[in-house]
Amino acid sequence: MIFIFFKNLFMDLYRQPLRTFLTLSGVVWGTFASVLLLAFGDGVSKSGKKSMHGMGEGIVIAWPGTTTISYKGITKGKAVRLTAEDVLLVKEKVPDILRISPEYIRSRRIRYNKEEYNNNIRGVNVEYQYMRNTIAQKGRFIDDPDVKNRRRVCFLGNTIAQNLFKDEDPLEKKVYVEGVPFMVVGVMVKKIQNSNYSGQRDEHCLFIPYTTFSTLYGQKYVSNVIIQPFPGQSVPVVANIREYLGNKIGFSPKDADALFIWDFTDLEKSLDIFFLAFNIFLGMIGSFTLMVGGVGVASIMLVVVEERLREIGVKLAVGAKRKQILRQFFSEALIIILMGGLIGFAFAALVLGVIPMEKIEDYVGHPQINVMVGIVTILILLAVGSIAGLMPARKAASTNPIEALRSR
């Protein structure tokens, strides 16, 4: 039975080679376009999220500002200042904070031998590396003994390390910050970071213990604070931080300018929604392209029904049920769609395999056919095949056997 089904299908395709070619080419092109669009959409989404997480993941950044609301007898216009001790107390007093770090930022001349650059120095603590993804490729990040003993050690961004040391290994070498020696204990792994705050991106920066920074430069007040709440707790944590610091330092918790807070999780949620809409849009474009091929399949199957009217009439006359006729022609249309889809899928995989990904990865990520792309493409093919096969199948099933037997 299955053999006869496929024999009839391929005989129909063989009788009209040009028509078959044009029909399959529409399905092949539609599938090819759908797979590439979905693969590139997925690559761009992952690349965008990775770039965003280059600055941090699930973090909250707070900058001390100036009061604009009078509070408990204190007139507006007061400068809000936070010490490192104030920052560390926040973690003890405010619940649901996973990590926190004070951050001092200053631009300074950094020299090694004859190479010299004017880059940012960031004074931070140990927890900073996990919040800001400043992960070591060589050596290590700043540790607790470095902070406690105010050691003059530094962790280099990968770009400044390359600029200063060229092909030389930086570990345990000394760089000079405004003439003060610092021993290099680690170099950051290269990361994609498409945005930043307060100065240069991490790849250009030199990181030192915040205690060393404060002692060396006599800077009492922090530039900003990095906070990482427990997952899903950013909103209550932000409110509690305002409440605690407002009461401790003297500003209204409702005064957004006194302590400007950027909740990074809001940006992450917005970006997730954007990329979801972006991928749905690309999927719709691919579906419409594939629909053109579906129209071709529907057309060829309508012609096939006309050519096989006598066969349909004979089957009905000898007792075949109409749902069997409907199932036969519906299956034929679906198989044509899937055949074209398989060829288009293979072409798309071939193209993605030969594209030099290393040259485009920084712009569109790494497009590839993953499980999700495959599932979505198959669902689109099945939907188009169902729509394309339903009309000719219903026409075949509704054939009058007497009129069909009279036809030539």
Q: How far is CA 94 from CA 13, 84, 89, 391, in A?
A: 72, 16, 8, 65
User: Are 260 and 274 in a shared domain?
Assistant: no
Query: How would residue 225 be classed by pLDDT, with cut points 50, 70 and 90?
Result: very high
- What does the buried/exposed string (b/e) look like for 190-224 if buried means 16 or more CB atoms within 10 Å of the residue's CB? ebebeeeeebbbbbbbbbbbbbbbbebbebeebbb
User: Are 337 and 363 in a shared domain?
Assistant: yes
Domain boundary among 264, 284, 306: 264
d(CA 142, CA 124): 9
User: Are 191 and 81 in a shared domain?
Assistant: yes
Neighbour count for residue 38 (Cβ, 10 Å): 26
Interval 130-138 mean pLDDT: 93
Q: How far is CA 266 from CA 7, 52, 65, 80, in A?
A: 59, 12, 21, 25
Q: What is the pTM of this model?
A: 0.71
Residue 301 has pLDDT above 80, yes or no: no
Q: Where are the alpha helices (DSSP H) in 56-103?
A: 84-93
Domain boundary among 229, 264, 299: 264
Interval 247-252 mean pLDDT: 89
Sign of CA dihedral 18, 19, 22, 25: negative
Q: Is residue 292 exposed (0-12), middle (13-18) or buried (19+ Cβ within 10 Å)?
A: middle
Residue 74 has pLDDT above 90, yes or no: no
d(CA 236, CA 88): 18
* Residue 106: both structure tokens together: 């200053």
What is the phi/psi pair of residue 132, to 5°? -105, 5
Residues in Cβ contact with 107 at an 8 Å cutoff, skipping those fewer than 6 apart: 118, 119, 120, 121, 199
User: Are 72 and 188 in a shared domain?
Assistant: yes
| Segment 333-386, tens digit of pLDDT | 777 777 888 888 888 888 888 877 666 666 667 777 777 777 777 777 777 767
d(CA 133, CA 120): 17
Domain boundary among 264, 298, 319: 264
- Give the count of domains, the chain: 2
Interval 224-242 mean pLDDT: 92
User: Are 11 and 154 in a shared domain?
Assistant: no
Residue 105 has pLDDT above 80, yes or no: yes
User: Are 341 and 399 in a shared domain?
Assistant: yes
Which residues face 201 on adjacent strands? none
User: Are 226 and 278 in a shared domain?
Assistant: no
d(CA 371, CA 74): 60
Q: For residues 80 and 223, is the Cβ–Cβ distance under 8 A?
A: no
Tell me the residue type at 157.
G
Q: What is the mean pLDDT of the chain?
A: 82
Length in residues, the chain: 408
Residues in Cβ contact with 160 at an 8 Å cutoff, skipping those fewer than 6 apart: 110, 117, 119, 203, 204, 205, 206
Query: How would residue 3 be classed by pLDDT, with cut points 50, 70 and 90?
Result: low
| Segment 179-221, tens digit of pLDDT | 999 999 999 999 888 778 888 899 999 999 999 999 999 999 9
Residue 234 has pLDDT above 90, yes or no: no
User: Are 66 and 210 in a shared domain?
Assistant: yes
Q: What is the pLDDT of residue 244?
A: 93
Task: Give residue 40's domain range.
Answer: 2-52+269-406
Q: For residues 206 and 122, is the Cβ–Cβ distance under 8 A?
A: yes
Neighbour count for residue 4 (Cβ, 10 Å): 8
Residue 62 has pLDDT above 70, yes or no: yes
Interval 277-282 mean pLDDT: 82
Q: What is the pLDDT of residue 76?
A: 84
User: Are 245 and 288 in a shared domain?
Assistant: no
Interval 288-306 mean pLDDT: 72
Higher pLDDT, residue 235 or 362: 235
Q: For residues 142 and 153, is the Cβ–Cβ distance under 8 A?
A: yes
User: Are 230 and 324 in a shared domain?
Assistant: no
Q: What is the pLDDT of residue 307?
A: 66
Higher pLDDT, residue 165 or 329: 165
Q: What is the pLDDT of residue 143?
A: 95
Percentage above 70 pLDDT, the chain: 83
Which contiguous run of DSSP H or E holds residue 182? strand 180-188
User: Are 155 and 218 in a shared domain?
Assistant: yes
Which residues face 183 on adjacent strands? 153, 174
User: Are 286 and 257 in a shared domain?
Assistant: no
Query: How would residue 55 be classed by pLDDT, with cut points 50, 70 and 90?
Result: confident
Query: How would residue 122 be classed by pLDDT, with cut points 50, 70 and 90?
Result: very high
Q: What is the pLDDT of residue 383?
A: 77
